[in-house]
Amino acid sequence: MAPQAPGFCYPLRAVRIRYASRTDVGMVRAHNEDYFALIEDERLFIVADGMGGHASGDIASKMSADIIGEFYRITRDPEAAWPFPYDNTLSYAENRMVSSIRLANAKIHHAATKHRSQRGMGTTIVTFNVNGDRGYVAHVGDSRCYLIRRGRIQALTRDHSLLEDYKDARPDLTDEEIRDFPHKNVITRALGMRDSVEVDLCEIEIEDGDRYMLCSDGLCGMLEDDEILDIVLEAPDPESAVRDLVDRSNEAGGTDNITAMIIECAF
């Protein structure tokens, strides 16, 4: 049986949003394996960073967004069957996000094992959903979601990487040791790596003036959080913000593909 959306116990405030997104191949790579998408009527924003080289990385990143979008389209029908059991510890919105990402993982993994040309392909994923006056973030890998609120910046995601695992094991690491860590770009979780995947979730109450930024590591690997904050705060609108973020990332070296998506919220 398909899960039923529960009734809400509080009135939902209507959130007005402005958004913009931009992707760029960067200064070093030959082609762009990043992909972004928006499912407008669901207010669902997606950034994916493919890996696997040649054509495989961009196949995986686009597949993830397409599969998630198709899942959301199908599950608009309350009678539609879901591919995974409903988790009663999560909200309906969270279940929908997790199931869509798990489905994308399963299909990418299947394609990677079935087609020789796509072996080893995978992708990170970060999604942001505006649902009533709540924001939901789901992610796998090292693509990030930031919250910019009242002049401050906060990461709402934690990278699934060897570096973050090492920092957890060694909380006394100095800034120099972190900077010199030899495997910064090695991720420990991504879509397609295994036949199942764990999805991290975050729920936040949206406030007037919030800005949420989704990005691939080609951006946050080039710019410090304070630089990102300054660029977004100085930009007059989301379109200017994503343009300036990409330009500044390229000026800093542009060693990877760069994708930025800004969602500005108001009541």
Kindly list the domain boundaries of the chain, sorted by start residue.
16-266
Quote the pLDDT of residue 10.
Answer: 45
Quote the pLDDT of residue 42.
Answer: 96
Q: Residue 155 class from Cβ within 10 Å (0-12 exposed, 13-18 middle, 19+ buried)?
A: middle
Give domain 16-266's CATH superfamily: PPM-type phosphatase domain (3.60.40.10)
Quote the pLDDT of residue 5.
Answer: 53
| pLDDT tens-digit profile, the chain (267 residues) | 456 554 444 445 789 999 999 999 999 999 999 999 999 999 999 999 999 765 689 999 999 999 999 999 999 998 999 999 999 999 999 999 999 999 999 999 999 999 888 888 999 999 999 999 999 999 999 999 999 999 999 999 999 988 888 777 788 878 787 777 777 778 999 999 999 999 999 999 999 999 999 999 999 999 999 999 999 999 999 999 999 999 999 999 999 999 999 999 999
